[in-house]
Amino acid sequence: MNGLGGLNKSENGVVIGCVQLQLPRIETRADIAAQTRRIIEMVGKARRNLGTMDLVVFPEYSLHGLSMDIRPEILCRIDGPEVAAFQEACRDNRIWGCFSIMELNPGGMPYNTGLVIDDAGTIVLTYRKLHPWVPVEPWEPGDLGIPVIDGPKGAKLALIICHDGMFPEMARECAYKGAEIMLRTAGYTAPIRESWRFTNQANAFQNLMITANVCLCGSDGSFDSMGEGMIVNFDGTVIAHGTTGRADEIITAEVRPDLVREARRGWGVENNIYQLGHRGYVAVKGGAQDCPYTFMQDMVAGTYRLPWEAEVKVVDGTSCGFPGPTRHYGDPLSEAAE
């Protein structure tokens, strides 16, 4: 199915390139401008590298670096010059692109935002990270849910970011809303390597969904990111994997959303995304369609609480140097809770 990394593209294929972008060091607005130019150069490289490529995917933090810096002068806006430059690059190179910005949020902490731009330069997907990597990241919890769009060649496409992928509910939500391809962009470093690998595969298999995943790569002098571009088929097998840790390498593969659709319709054994809502359909007509999961019921009721909740030691970002928050989710900065 890989088609030699997309060199031999089939009629129903979608060719994805995952960029193991060199981890940047960002301190000033000039650094942001320079990194914007670097990303645009890599969009051009992707097009020159493989004329069949439909979608080029850049990692989380590819513009911002891993400093967790929230100074307004290095934050971005969706209608700002950096995103406009990404739009122009996609339009000029006739390629879809997935990009990362740290988005200014006047009502709270910045958002960790991912964008998908089509080959005409139009922003077609905006996603704000639902699960920041606590206690390390200071980003506001996302408020847009998980959008699913018609991507290249009509494939249903979703985007999640880094730590999101450690929650099986995130991939499940993507699939439940119809996603056939789920992108996962990240800035993870080497200690997460093994969990990165098996969650990328599990997210695919448990939902009969292709996952395309990529981290930053290389060092900024303080942090070392691992690359690990991975494109995983809907049966959990790895189609392409960047294991060398070579910065700026583009990991490519052809994927087949049409075969995802075929499997979701035709599989009996391990059609888990269907069977979750139709338990035991051999025994009872249509299967049991209740919700037997206490955690789901409690979350909807606003009463989610672990048996060991009172014993959890890390519940804010103070261990990583952030002040303890006083504002509740949804409250603007000017109305911080007492």
Take residue 44 and report the two structure tokens written for it.
Answer: 């051009």
Residue 173 three-state SS: helix
14-20 and 210-215 as β-strands: parallel, antiparallel, unpaired?
unpaired
Take residue 257 and report the two structure tokens written for it.
Answer: 């959303």
Q: Give me the residues paired with residue 76 across strands.
A: 103
Of 44, 33, 38, nearest to 23 by C-alpha is 38
Instruction: Give DSSP secondary structure letters for 91-119.
Output: HHHT-EEEEEEEE--TTSSPEEEEEEE-T
How far is residue 3's CA from residue 197's CA, in Å, rounded to a whole number? 22
Q: Which residues are catalytic?
A: 60, 129, 162
Tell me phi and psi for residue 232, to 5 degrees.
-120, 135
* Burial zone of 135 (CB within 10 Å; 0-12 exposed, 13-18 middle, 19+ buried): middle
Tell me how far apart the terminal alpha carbons of the chain are, to the nearest angstrom.
Answer: 57
From the centroid of its chain, how far is CA 16?
14
Instruction: Find the angle CA(145)-CA(149)-CA(150) to the nearest 5 degrees.
Output: 170
Q: How many helices (H) and strands (E) does the chain have?
A: 8, 14
Instruction: Using alpha carbons, list the distances in angstroms from residue 137 to 110, 146, 236, 319, 322.
Output: 10, 20, 29, 11, 9
How far is residue 257's CA from residue 154's CA, in Å, rounded to a whole number? 9
